[in-house]
């Protein structure tokens, strides 16, 4: 680092999660150079920091008493192509919903101009809501999927972009031949690599078992292995779907085993939903160090079931959060954070009321002595949306907290952003984080930094 290097220096409350899911909150100084957090110190060491990094006092961003910094939020499962349907069409369960609403919408992305409009709005909206990293499903169209990758690069969002693959049990107007799906995936992967930069990467994306042949999935597993790529798909979202998979792949004991046999379970695999899993499946997922994207809004909205994150934590399975827009009606990961707490509360309630199933598949899986189920709280939701997501992506070394050495992906949150969250004066910093999880929205996220670059800044705007 030379003395002429431009450094960003922030002073104020730093909020992040520890590996044990608890919150770590302290006042401190954070120094950013290029795309990394390079130094962190106590506030009392500010003078030393300014000298060391040759920064004038006037250039320091000093946070107000209603502000804090936190790591950027990670959405580990979102369908950018379903963004036009967000908030619509949620009366049907998964398989009918796909046929009636989702496949027709996704088919429209054969038109590049439609893709440009939707993808710009989707990426802009999610950045505004604090999503600094997203794992996107696009559609089966290569050109349109490339447009999504370019939009992420242009607007500065870290992203994994997947060209969706599906070669069976799909409508005539929205399906691929196996060879075509593989060739287009190869071409897509090559094209994204040519775009340059590390911000946007391709991710291998078989939609889910019912719409992918074993040959397709096995070949996709081979491509992922050969190029060391991430993989994303859906797993055990809905009971009818699980039953269908049992019929389609009767030589496999479980849904997860289909992916295992096709080489699709790796430490870089994101399995969305995973609502209805046996202990054996959870063990398989843990063995491969794959992980689960918990999508509570979608699971409630499509009435799929309730995923028991506490059970997964206890079994050592990696978990992050996903919006699953538009199965989930909101593209904001803050919404997923608060709904992850409600989903967990609903499991506790079901157990207490003796409602049995729907209370998660396992009894007595809560922490403690196996008697009392302890639901997730706001601090757990911060973990899931930051460090949990980073772990799930196998990027814990680079993302998920404000530690020096990590990539500079973070948010400046201001509780003054809207009337509901504006402080009364009695709140602690913990209270601020609590309120942000339950009441916060894009108005509270006044600064978004991805890879060291400011991609949203409404610090000077009058919001209320
Ligand atoms: Zn999904």
Which has the higher per-residue pLDDT, 318 or 372? 318
pLDDT surpassing 70 at residue 359: no
Distance of CA 85 from the midpoint of ligand 1 (Å): 13
Q: Averaged over 388-411, what is the pLDDT?
A: 98
Q: How far is the CA of 77 from the centre of ligand 1 (A)?
A: 6
Q: Which pLDDT value is given to residue 357?
A: 60
Two tokens, residue 249:
């792949």
Predicted local confidence at residue 370, as pLDDT? 53
Average pLDDT over residues 124-139: 98
Distance 309 CA to ligand 1 centre (A): 18
For residue 2, pLDDT over 80 is answered with no
pLDDT of residue 417: 82
pLDDT tens, position by position, 174-195: 999 999 999 999 999 999 999 9
Q: 131 pLDDT exceeds 60? A: yes
CA–centroid distance, residue 148 to ligand 1 (Å): 17
Beta-carbon neighbour count of residue 279 at 10 Å? Answer: 12
Report CA(258)–ligand 1 centroid distance (Å).
18
% pLDDT > 70, the chain: 94
Amino acid 353: pLDDT? 92
Distance 293 CA to ligand 1 centre (A): 10
What is d(CA 318, CA 227) in angstroms, rounded to the nearest whole number?
A: 23
Q: How far is the CA of 55 from the centre of ligand 1 (A)?
A: 45
Question: Is 363 a residue whose pLDDT tops 60?
Answer: no
Report CA 373 to chain centroid distance, whole Å.
26
Tell me the pLDDT tens digit for each residue of 328-356: 999 999 999 999 999 999 999 999 998 86
| Residue 120 CA, ligand 1 centroid: distance in Å | 20
| 2: helix, strand or coil | coil
Ligand 1 center to 356 CA (angstroms): 26
CA of 91 to the centre of ligand 1 (A): 16
Average pLDDT rounded to a whole number, residues 50-74:
97
How many whole angstroms from 360 Cα to the centroid of ligand 1? 20
Q: What is the pLDDT of residue 462?
A: 53
Centre of ligand 1 to C-alpha 78, Å, is 6
State the Cα–Cα distance between residues 412 and 458, nearest whole angstrom.
10
Checking if the pLDDT of 67 tops 60, the result is yes
* 367, pLDDT greater than 70: no
Cα-to-centroid distance, 419 and ligand 1 (Å): 33
> Which stretch of 49-63, 200-214, 368-382 has the lowest confidence by average pLDDT?
368-382
CA of residue 297 to ligand 1 center, whole Å: 11
Average pLDDT over residues 120-143: 98
Cα 322 to middle of ligand 1, angstroms = 9
Cα separation, 429 vs 64, in Å, equals: 12
Q: How far is the CA of 427 from the centre of ligand 1 (A)?
A: 37
Distance from the CA of 351 to the center of ligand 1, in angstroms? Answer: 27
336 CA distance to ligand 1 middle (Å):
14
Judge contact between 370 and 364, C-beta under 8 A: yes
Cα 46 to ligand 1 centre (Å):
45
**Own/partner pairs, 104-111, CB within 8 angstroms, 24+ separation:** 104/174, 105/81, 106/81, 106/82, 106/139, 106/140, 106/164, 106/174, 107/139, 107/171, 107/173, 107/174, 109/81, 109/138, 109/139, 109/141, 109/144, 110/141, 110/144
Q: Which domains does the chain have, with CATH numbers?
A: 7-71+401-457 (2.30.40.10), 73-392 (3.20.20.140)
How do residues 17-43 score in pLDDT, each as one tens digit?
A: 999 999 999 999 999 999 999 999 999
Quick one: pLDDT band at residue 400, thresholds 50, 70, 90?
very high
What's the mean pLDDT in 142-146?
98
pLDDT digits (tens, 9 = 90+) for 406-453: 999 999 999 998 999 999 999 999 999 999 999 999 999 999 999 999
Q: Give the pLDDT band of residue 159 (cuts 50, 70, 90).
A: very high
């Amino acid at each position: 680092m030379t003395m002429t290097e431009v450094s960003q220096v922030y002073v104020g409350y730093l909020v992040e999660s520890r590996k044990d899911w608890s919150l770590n909150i302290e006042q401190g100084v954070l120094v950013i150079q290029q795309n990394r957090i390079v130094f962190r110190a106590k506030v009392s060491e500010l003078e030393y920091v300014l000298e060391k990094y040759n920064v004038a006092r006037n250039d320091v961003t000093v946070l107000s008493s209603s502000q804090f910094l936190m790591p950027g939020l990670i959405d580990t499962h979102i369908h950018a192509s379903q963004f036009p349907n967000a908030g619509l069409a949620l009366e049907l369960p998964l398989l009918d919903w796909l046929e009636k609403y989702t496949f027709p919408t996704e088919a429209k992305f054969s038109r590049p101009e439609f893709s440009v409009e939707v993808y710009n709005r989707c990426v802009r909206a999610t950045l505004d809501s604090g999503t600094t990293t997203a794992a996107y499903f696009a559609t089966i169209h290569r050109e349109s999927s490339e447009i999504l990758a370019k939009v992420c690069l242009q607007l500065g969002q870290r992203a994994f972009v997947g060209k969706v693959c599906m070669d069976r049990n799909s409508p005539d107007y929205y399906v691929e031949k196996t060879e075509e799906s593989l060739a287009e995936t190869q071409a897509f992967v090559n094209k994204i690599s040519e775009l340059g930069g590390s911000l946007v990467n391709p991710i291998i994306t078989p939609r889910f078992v019912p719409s992918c042949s074993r040959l397709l999935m096995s070949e996709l597993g081979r491509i992922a292995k050969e190029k060391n790529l991430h993989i994303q798909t859906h797993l055990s979202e809905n009971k009818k779907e699980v039953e269908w998979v049992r019929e389609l792949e009767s030589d496999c004991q479980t849904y997860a085993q289909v992916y295992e046999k096709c080489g699709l379970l790796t430490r870089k695999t994101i399995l969305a939903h995973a609502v209805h899993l046996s202990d054996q499946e959870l063990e398989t997922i843990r063995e491969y160090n794959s992980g689960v994207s918990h999508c509570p809004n979608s699971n409630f909205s499509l009435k799929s079931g309730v995923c028991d994150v506490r059970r997964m934590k206890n079994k050592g399975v990696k978990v992050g959060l996903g919006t699953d827009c538009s199965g989930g009606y909101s593209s904001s990961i803050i919404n997923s954070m608060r709904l992850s707490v409600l989903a967990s509360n609903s499991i506790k309630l079901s157990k207490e009321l003796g409602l049995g199933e729907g209370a998660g598949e396992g009894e007595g899986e809560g922490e403690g002595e196996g008697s009392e189920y302890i639901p997730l709280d706001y601090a757990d939701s911060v973990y899931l949306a930051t460090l949990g997501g980073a772990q799930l992506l196998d990027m814990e070394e680079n993302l998920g907290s404000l530690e020096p050495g990590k990539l500079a992906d973070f948010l400046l949150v201001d509780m003054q952003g809207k009337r509901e969250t504006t402080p009364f004066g009695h709140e602690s910093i913990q209270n601020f984080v609590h309120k942000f999880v339950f009441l916060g929205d894009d108005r509270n996220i006044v600064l978004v930094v991805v890879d060291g670059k400011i991609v949203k800044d409404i610090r000077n705007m009058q919001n209320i």
